[in-house]
Structure formats: structure tokens, C-alpha cells
Structure 1
Amino acid sequence: MRGWFRLTLGLLAVVLGALWTVQGLGYATDSVMTGHRIWAVIGPVVVLIGLVALYFGMRARGHRD
């Protein structure tokens, strides 16, 4: 079960970061965050954090003791 938490957290961060980026750029409508540029900056940062978590989760899953 090693790495599952990081993988799950990383995937969630990538999805949320992508959603926030799309909303910040104004492509998603009917949201409070639509058109606010701060979300277009925060989103990619969260995606990068998620990718790092995915990387370390995959590494933890690959190490079999």
C-alpha cells in the first residue's frame, strides 16, 4: 500500500489545478472564480505540486522491499 496516498493526492491536485487554471483563464463559465487571473496562476502551481506528488508516489510504489 506504499505510495497510494501520494498518488491519490497528486491526481487530485492535478485535476483541481487544471480546473482552477481553466476557470482563471475564463474558459469555464458560471463560477465565482471565472476570469480572476489569480486562479490562472495558482492552478499551474497546484498542477506542478500534484505532478511532484505523483512522481514520488510512483517511486514509492516501485520500491519493493
Structure 2
Amino acid sequence: MDYGIKELIIAIITTNRELVSGGTAPIFYVENDEKKEEKALLVSKTTMGMVHDIGDGTYIVVKH
């Protein structure tokens, strides 16, 4: 059997504070697109998740 966390949003990284708030996943607010990409890459590497651009200045890191 394969146990573990699957199909879960691990983190939200955004430049738009008005678009994202609350929820169960940690939210990282960053100043610009460069910081957004950097933070998303670091979170995805440490959690073995995948980064998805959902538009409006927001990335999500998802465990598939």
C-alpha cells in the first residue's frame, strides 16, 4: 500500500493580496513576479510538489 498526502494544495504564492485570503494552505505574499517564482520553486522542491500558474499573479503548489 502507498500511504501519504496526495492531491492537496500545499501552498499559495501570490502578488495580489486582495485576491487570496484565508483557507487551509499557507499563503505567501510576495512583492513581484521574480520573488513569486523563487518562492514557488523553493516550496515545490522541499515538498516535492508541482507549481501551477492559476493566473492573476498567483501560483499554487500541489501534491499530486
- Fold-level match, TM-score > 0.5? no
Structure 1 or 2: more helix by fraction: 1
- CA radius of gyration, larger in: 1
Structure 1 or 2: more strand by fraction: 2
The interval holding the TM-score normalised by the smaller chain is 0.3 to 0.5
TM-score calculated relative to the size of structure 1: 0.33
TM-score calculated relative to the size of structure 2: 0.33
